[in-house]
Amino acid sequence: MWKVTARPIPKNDFLASMRTKHSFRDALSAPLSKPTLSAAKAQLSIFSHMPKWVNTLMSIRNKIVKYFGFKVGTTTSLEMKKTDLKLGDAAGFMTVISVKDHEVISFAEDKHMQFYMSVTTDDQQTTVSTLVNLKTPIGRLYMALITPFHWVIARVVIHNAVKEQRL
């Protein structure tokens, strides 16, 4: 049923070079039915279609954490009208900092954490990898509380993209 699998954390990629002492890192892969799909289009295919319950949870989260100095987005998913991502584009609450045919890296930062996301593609799969560098005790507490939600949401959103043949 689930087409999303946890992957070993890459040790020699860009995100690994940005990792600090207090951090969270994961990597999830899913099969591609569109082998020529670029990483930018894969990112849009995954994150432009959030389930309503995810949008609701993110809205509640944003209302709470903004009082603690966390960066919050004005939208919970990527703009549906975008067809590609370019350097400097907004990608949800993040900014695209690197675009290559087979990898897109997005970044966001606030006083508690730095958040990186890499989306890669090859002929058979796409991999979404996140790195969160935790800069403060509040950031570490937040990550401890949010990790179970991240685990479920990331898998559901990627799985839905596979199931709906957007990847």
Residue type, 76: T
Q: pLDDT digit string (tens) for 47-76?
A: 988 899 998 998 898 899 888 888 776 655
Query: Cβ(106)–Cβ(89) under 8 Å?
Result: no
User: According to DSSP H, which parts of 48-83 are helical?
Assistant: 52-65
pLDDT at 67 (0 to 100):
87
Q: Which two tokens stand for residue 21?
A: 């002492």
CB contact set of 29 (below 8 Å; sequence gap of 6+):
4, 5, 7, 125, 126, 127, 128
Q: pLDDT digit string (tens) for 82-138?
A: 678 889 988 888 899 999 989 999 999 999 999 999 999 998 999 999 999 999 999
Q: What rounded mean pLDDT belongs to the chain?
A: 90
Q: How many structural domains comprise the chain?
A: 1
Query: Cβ(85)–Cβ(130) under 8 Å?
Result: no
pLDDT at 21 (0 to 100):
92
CATH number, domain of 128, equals 3.30.530
Residue with tokens 């043949």: 165
**pLDDT above 70 (res 160):** yes
Residue type, 97: I
Tell me the residue range of the domain where 116 lies.
Answer: 5-163
Query: Cβ(102)–Cβ(128) under 8 Å?
Result: no
